[in-house]
Amino acid sequence: MSTYKTAPGVEAALAGYRLPEKLGFGLSTAPVMFSALYANGAWDEGELLPHGPVEIWPGARVLHYAELVFEGMKAYRVGNDTPSLFRPQANYQRLVRSATRLAMPAPSEALFMTALTAITRACTPFIPRVSGQSLYLRPFIFGTEPGYQIRPSLTARFLVIANPAEVYSAGPMRVSIERDDSRASPGGTGTAKTGGNYAASLRATQVASERGYTVALWLDAGTRQLIQELSGMNLFAVIDGTLHTPLLDGSILEGITRDSLLTLARARGLTVVERPMRIDELLEQIRSGVCTEVFACGTAAIVSPIELLGERDGTEYRPRDVDVVAASLREGLLAIQERRVEDPFGWVQPV
């Protein structure tokens, strides 16, 4: 771990924090955060400081041109005194890929790991010890240089904030098939974890929620047939006893939970198929019973069952099973993440 500064007030902030009874997802914020600044082509050493508002120029490029990339990851402490991170290097590599896509500077791996280790260690007493709960960590980088010229910001800030949290979405989800708006296309920013992708999804989320759905399902911008992902989660379907998920086609997020589930499923002997998946074919397979289950996954969501997929005209498709294969994979993944079983893949990293 490299050296970093600790600001006055950190100890008092930590001493004054109490875990709320109801955690929710992102409702309670850990009392400290880590910050590093980029200027003149280099990052400073970084600082742990009390969680609070940050100053920003009104003309900062993040506020006008959405120069922002982020990650979502978790620290676990179920049944252990020391916390652990799950595949932090995979998050680092994806953050670098996202930053590269937006021509932004990324911190070194050493600075990234220092930030995560510092905040995780400081927050150890507040990392929930209930299975399924964790300390959600949100590292992000944004362009801070003010100005309207459309070029990469010459200054940036790297922040890590954290939230003791439950799973993102409780209970089986109702999925709204989005056939009007599109979110990402090959060559765009769909594979980058950047705020603009989430902003592009908000109208569909609002419409979905007004109609009683949990989340929107995105289709490709060209043919409106190929399944991409849900807002913030990758999609899986159980078809004829095998596990199917959309191919990484350059427009969907390369989910680390997605990748972990594929590895876990293969290790269990399940046949796993990554391929272009057509929505109309999947709906027909649900209707005929060939597709028995659909579920979603993501760092925040872990593995979330799906109860139904619905069209704007009210037609609904309900897979026969809800949370069968999903529950088994969720338990298998969580058992590794929470160090309840041996980690055969080298994913867990105590800090």
- Residues at the site binding ligand COI, with contacts judged by CB under 6 A: 72, 168, 232, 298-301
Distance CA 99, CA 96 (A): 5
Tokens of residue 330, six digits: 């969720």
Q: Which is nearer to ligand COI, 72 or 246 (CB)?
A: 72
**Residue 258 phi, psi dihedral angles, 5° rounding:** -55, -50
- Give me the residue whose beta carbon is nearest to ligand COI: 72
Shortest CB 212 distance to ligand COI, Å? 19
**Between 233 and 291, whose beta carbon lies closer to ligand COI?**
233
Q: In the chain, how long is the greatest CA-to-CA distance?
A: 63
Q: How far is the CB of 26 from ligand COI (least distance, A)?
A: 8
Q: Return the number of the residue (277 or 301) whose C-beta is nearest ligand COI.
A: 301
Tell the smallest beta-carbon distance from residue 106 to ligand COI (Å).
17
Read off the tokens for 127: 């990392």
Task: State the nearest-atom distance from the C-beta of 83 to ligand COI, in Å.
Answer: 17
Q: Is 40 exposed, middle or buried (0-12, 13-18, 19+ CB in 10 A)?
A: exposed
Nearer to ligand COI, 13 or 294 (CB): 294
Q: How far is the CB of 302 from ligand COI (least distance, A)?
A: 9
Both tokens of residue 61?
Answer: 């490029």
Q: How near is the Cβ of 299 to ligand COI at its closest, in Å?
A: 4
Nearer to ligand COI, 217 or 300 (CB): 300
CB atoms near residue 125 (< 10 Å): 9
Q: How far is the CB of 237 from ligand COI (least distance, A)?
A: 20
Nearer to ligand COI, 214 or 292 (CB): 214
Residue closer to ligand COI (CB basis): 197 or 292: 197
Contact between 87 and 116 under an 8 Å Cβ cutoff? The reply is no
Report whether 216 contacts 204 (CB < 8 A): yes
Q: State which residue, 31 or 298, has the beta carbon closest to ligand COI.
A: 298
Cα–Cα distance, 215 to 304 (Å, whole number): 11
Minimum Å distance from CB 160 to ligand COI? 13
Cα angle 18-23-28, degrees, rounded to a multiple of 5 = 60
Angle, vertex CA 159, rays to CA 118 and CA 188, nearest 5: 130
CB 243 within 8 A of CB 271: yes
CB 21 within 8 A of CB 164: no
What is the residue type of 249? D
